[in-house]
Each structure stands twice: as C-alpha cells, then as structure tokens.
Amino acid sequence: MAVNVYFEDVNVGDALPAWSRQTDFMHWNRYAAVNDEFVYIHMDDEAGKAALNEQGAFGMGNLRYTYILNALRDWIGDEAEIRECGVQFRAINQKNDILTVQGKVTDKKVEDGENRVYLDINVMNQNGDGTCPAHAVLVLPNRG
C-alpha cells in the first residue's frame, strides 16, 4: 500500500474508511506489553471497580489513540504522512466493546508547501456513543 490516496482525489465531506476492533484483555495485554503500560485498572476488575467503573477493568486511552493512527495509516498508505493528531478521552472503553474509528474530511489546502487534509474523528462504541473525539492533519502526495 505505497500510495492509497492522492491529494487531488480527496474532497471535503469524504469519510475515512471505518476501522474496527472488539477489544478485551487480549488486546490490552499486548499493548501493555509493548508500551510497558501495566496499570491495575487495565488489568484487574476489582481495581477497575475501585476506580468507580462498575464493569471492572477498562481499556487504555492510548490504545484508542493508536487505533485512530492505524485507521489513518491504513487509509493514506505508506508514502503519506500524519502531521498531527489530537484526542480527548471522554468515555471508557469497556471490555468487549466494539470500537470503530470514524472520520470525515473537513478541509484541504496547500499550506507550508504541504498538501494538507484535515479530519474530524471519533472512536464510536457499539452503542453509537462517541468515546474519543479527535482531529488529524494528513499530508498527501500529488497524483503524477
């Protein structure tokens, strides 16, 4: 996937291809293992409940941020760049949630010599709740 999308082919209002994961301890533990993020609230139901989440342990905000970056990378391919990405962690990622990264192009312009594409993004759960409003700025190549 060297180049998936060119600057000329993107229009305001275009949707980011949806990117989903059903998350549980298998995903959280793998992420903890590489990011050294072993925190009891992400590992142990009792600790999660003690942190006032009735359902127990919950997922890392950083992993949802990773999912956003993955969705962007899968869309734009290897030759393009993610120049900026920002997230707000607004709701909890419960065990077995099906998280879907959704996004829409809000602007595109040539700026500082770069073909920049702006997106509003959110990570939705299976109930349709936005858990993680976000934004991104991408730099895409020209066609030809």
**Residue closer to other proteins (CB basis): 13 or 34:** 34
Instruction: State the DSSP string of 12-73.
Output: TTPEEEEEEEE-SHHHHHHHHHHHT---GGGT-HHHHHHTT-TT--B--HHHHHHHHHHHHH
Distance CA 86, CA 133 (A): 8
Q: Does 46 bind other proteins (CB under 8 A)?
A: no
Which of 44, 84, 107, 129 contacts other proteins by CB under 8 A? 84
Question: How far from 125 is each of 52, 82, 91, 135, CA to CA, in Å?
Answer: 20, 24, 10, 18
Residue 86 CB, nearest distance to other proteins (Å)?
3
Q: Decide if residue 81 touches other proteins (CB under 8 A).
A: yes
107 touches other proteins (CB under 8 A): no
93 Cβ neighbours under 8 A, 6+ residues apart: 23, 58, 59, 60, 61, 63, 64, 99, 125, 131
18 binds other proteins (CB under 8 A): no
Looking at the Cβ atoms of 11 and 111, the one nearer to other proteins is 111
Q: Which of 27, 56, 114, 130 lies at the binding interface for other proteins (CB under 8 A)?
A: 27
- Tokens 């899968």 locate to 74
Exactly one of 65, 91, 104, 105 binds other proteins (CB under 8 A); that residue is 65
Q: Least separation, in Å, of the C-beta of 133 and other proteins?
A: 9
Q: Which residues bind other proteins (CB under 8 A)?
A: 1-2, 26-27, 30-31, 33-37, 41, 47, 50-52, 61-63, 65-67, 69-70, 73-74, 78-79, 81-89, 132
